Chains A and B, each alone.
Chain A
């Protein structure tokens, strides 16, 4: 089983949008390797003929009647926002300077 390297952890952290500094990478990378080594033990336990389970009590086609039901007001929906402007979520810039 492949060991998870410090560089890989840094890459995964970037994908997961978490800034990890050097000290955190030094701390977490070896721990993740140990965990991964342990969970890799399930390799080969189930054959190709075993179907996967995503939910223990599978339900399909869960519908409700197409009727209007009460929901949050705009004020309620915005009540936890870090920043609000003109009844909208105010966010930092999305595009880079060059764009």
Chain B
């Protein structure tokens, strides 16, 4: 029998439609895979075998009745633990929410359920999505399936690793500064950050409201498009949700899969490359660029001078928003409550302080304090106010660049996956991982990361990022699918086929 976990979501749909398999079989195969490899990978914080199989059985009934609920009915999915799931614990990788069971679903989860996708479980992440390595999870790091001693990226390392290790065909991630795209790059998978406001944030535990966006984590561009079409679209429960219709993304992915890029203008962002980027990452990037030129694309160099300030801007805006958002973890209505030691009849404030000390990890504390500082009187104008202005300049740089090019490209992350432990207590070194992905969050534009190959010096995956103007998400799918085809033709198959087999995996 063919291994169902190796199939793409689109292939699983074909097999389900043809009656060659059932959703229960597909879901069970992934649960078995999780049981076999997740002790080593640790992509999951929660596995809901019973719930997933029940949802799979319902999907099989719908299909048997000739009425599948959606294009992906019956295809199982993993969900990042920052998205509220009714009846299933949601911790955000934090002790402060250990054991919290949401009484409601995030809108994207409601849509998954409505579309018939069985939810396999919740994936590991940096605490409250603060990090680029998943090492800041209170429940231990996730390991990169390419090399278990290395990080899978972050904050959505669990979702990326789950997909890369064939534990799930699809996953949801969230991207605030690169948390979908950077894990995609370092695990050899696909990650998409949609246009800000085009996918609902209701039920997404906010890190930074003006930057967060939910998006697909998959092994192929077409699978990402199929998933994106299910989760996207206006939501009245999210006041920042845009009314615009989601463009036809699967059509764009299918069009791109021909590999033809005739007439497409590709802008190479001068400021996203060079110093600070690993040589092998740059070599693979140049190779991708050459392939796209051969396929008919026209390449222009564009300059976005303010991008060199994007990282600093982000690390003022994000902590400011995060420190406000995380004020709600106050030990009163939900989550952890810790009583201070040696205090008789402690006050609410004392309980709050003790709880937040015990419940938050170092990175969360760093960012809350930094945000509190940036928002405090006397410093507000110099820090937060100035960052908001530079944000305007970043958006203007994008506008100017998109006047010259249909899409912009860069390496997704400056390096390949580093060793677990290398940067965990060096915040600035950690922040540099998001150098190339942050500008898209500041401006709201959509982006995709596509595996570009293995870096020569370490044999680990690198990624190419493709950015498009706001609401033109179809472009990232068209160009992404084209590049995927061109590279696969070179490799003779997907990049993940070159990953080492995980121990405990069935032959």
B352 neighbours in A (Cβ, 8 Å): 17
A18 neighbours in B (Cβ, 8 Å): 353, 356-357, 360, 365, 368-369
Q: Does A19 sit at the interface, judged by CB under 8 A?
A: yes
Contact, CB under 8 Å: B395 / A53? yes
Bound together, the chains give a CA A43 to CA B306 distance in angstroms of: 13
Bound together, the chains give a CA A24 to CA B354 distance in angstroms of: 13
The residue that A15 contacts in the complex, of B332, B372, B431, B445, with Cβ under 8 A, is: B372
Beyond the given A24-B357, A38-B428, A42-B387, could you list 5 further A-B residue pairs with CB under 8 A, ordered by the A residue number? A12-B376, A28-B362, A45-B386, A54-B210, A92-B346
Residue of B nearest to A21 (CB): B357
A17 neighbours in B (Cβ, 8 Å): 327, 330, 349, 352-353, 356
Contact, CB under 8 Å: B306 / A45? yes
Q: Does B44 sit at the interface, judged by CB under 8 A?
A: no
Residue of B nearest to A49 (CB): B389
Q: A71-99 CB contact bits vs B (8 Å, 1 = yes)? A: 01000110111110000010111111100
Q: Does B174 sit at the interface, judged by CB under 8 A?
A: no
Shortest CB–CB separation between residue B360 and chain A, in angstroms? Answer: 7
Contact, CB under 8 Å: A19 / B369? no
A50 neighbours in B (Cβ, 8 Å): 389-390, 392-393
Of B29-37, B100-108, B451-459, the one contacting chain A is B100-108
Q: Please, could you name 13 A-B residue pairs with CB atoms under 8 Å apart, sorted by A?
A: A18-B357, A18-B365, A24-B365, A38-B315, A42-B386, A42-B387, A43-B386, A45-B390, A51-B389, A55-B210, A72-B104, A82-B331, A97-B345
Bound together, the chains give a CA A8 to CA B348 distance in angstroms of: 23
Shortest CB–CB separation between residue B232 and chain A, in angstroms? Answer: 14
Bound together, the chains give a CA A40 to CA B356 distance in angstroms of: 27
Known contacts being A38-B312, A39-B316, is A94 close to B386, with CB within 8 Å?
no
B347 neighbours in A (Cβ, 8 Å): 92-96
B445 neighbours in A (Cβ, 8 Å): 56
Could you tell me how many residues of chain B have their Cβ less than 8 Å away from some Cβ of chain A? 73
Bound together, the chains give a CA A91 to CA B376 distance in angstroms of: 28
B385 neighbours in A (Cβ, 8 Å): 52
Residue of A nearest to B357 (CB): A19
Q: A48-67 CB contact bits vs B (8 Å, 1 = yes)? A: 00111111110100101000
Bound together, the chains give a CA A96 to CA B357 distance in angstroms of: 21
Contact, CB under 8 Å: B443 / A42? no
A62 neighbours in B (Cβ, 8 Å): 239-240
Contact, CB under 8 Å: B239 / A79? no
Shortest CB–CB separation between residue A94 and chain B, in angstroms? Answer: 5
> In the complex, which residues 337-378 of chain B have their Cβ closer than 8 Å to any Cβ of chain A?
337, 340, 345-354, 356-357, 360, 362, 365-366, 368-370, 372-373, 376
Contact, CB under 8 Å: A83 / B444? no
Contact, CB under 8 Å: A34 / B428? yes
Q: Which 7 A-B pairs have the closest CB atoms?
A: A56-B444, A80-B334, A52-B388, A46-B389, A82-B337, A76-B103, A19-B357
Q: Does B242 sit at the interface, judged by CB under 8 A?
A: yes
Contact, CB under 8 Å: B309 / A42? yes
Q: B310-342 CB contact bits vs A (8 Å, 1 = yes)? A: 001101100000010001001111111100100
Contact, CB under 8 Å: B369 / A9? yes
Q: Does B382 sit at the interface, judged by CB under 8 A?
A: yes
Bound together, the chains give a CA A43 to CA B388 distance in angstroms of: 12
Residue of B nearest to A46 (CB): B389
Q: Does B195 sit at the interface, judged by CB under 8 A?
A: yes
Known contacts being A56-B444, A59-B239, A81-B334, is A92 close to B389, with CB within 8 Å?
no
A53 neighbours in B (Cβ, 8 Å): 388-389, 391-392, 395
Residue of A nearest to B210 (CB): A55
A57 neighbours in B (Cβ, 8 Å): 195-197, 240, 242, 444, 470
Bound together, the chains give a CA A59 to CA B242 distance in angstroms of: 8
Shortest CB–CB separation between residue B327 and chain A, in angstroms? Answer: 8
Residue of A nearest to B386 (CB): A42
Q: Does A68 sit at the interface, judged by CB under 8 A?
A: no
Bound together, the chains give a CA A18 to CA B313 distance in angstroms of: 25
Bound together, the chains give a CA A28 to CA B361 distance in angstroms of: 11
Q: Does B383 sit at the interface, judged by CB under 8 A?
A: yes
Known contacts being A18-B365, A51-B389, A94-B348, is A42 close to B316, with CB within 8 Å?
yes
Q: Does B302 sit at the interface, judged by CB under 8 A?
A: no
Q: Does B236 sit at the interface, judged by CB under 8 A?
A: yes
Known contacts being A19-B353, A42-B313, A52-B389, is A12 close to B427, with CB within 8 Å?
no
Q: Does B487 sit at the interface, judged by CB under 8 A?
A: no
A96 neighbours in B (Cβ, 8 Å): 347
Shortest CB–CB separation between residue A32 and chain B, in angstroms? Answer: 6
Bound together, the chains give a CA A81 to CA B330 distance in angstroms of: 11
Contact, CB under 8 Å: A45 / B392? no
Contact, CB under 8 Å: B386 / A92? no
Contact, CB under 8 Å: B372 / A81? no
Q: Does B442 sit at the interface, judged by CB under 8 A?
A: yes
Residue of B nearest to A44 (CB): B386
Contact, CB under 8 Å: B356 / A35? no
Contact, CB under 8 Å: B390 / A28? no
> In the complex, which residues 424-461 of chain B have their Cβ closer than 8 Å to any Cβ of chain A?
425, 427-428, 431, 442-445
Contact, CB under 8 Å: B348 / A92? yes
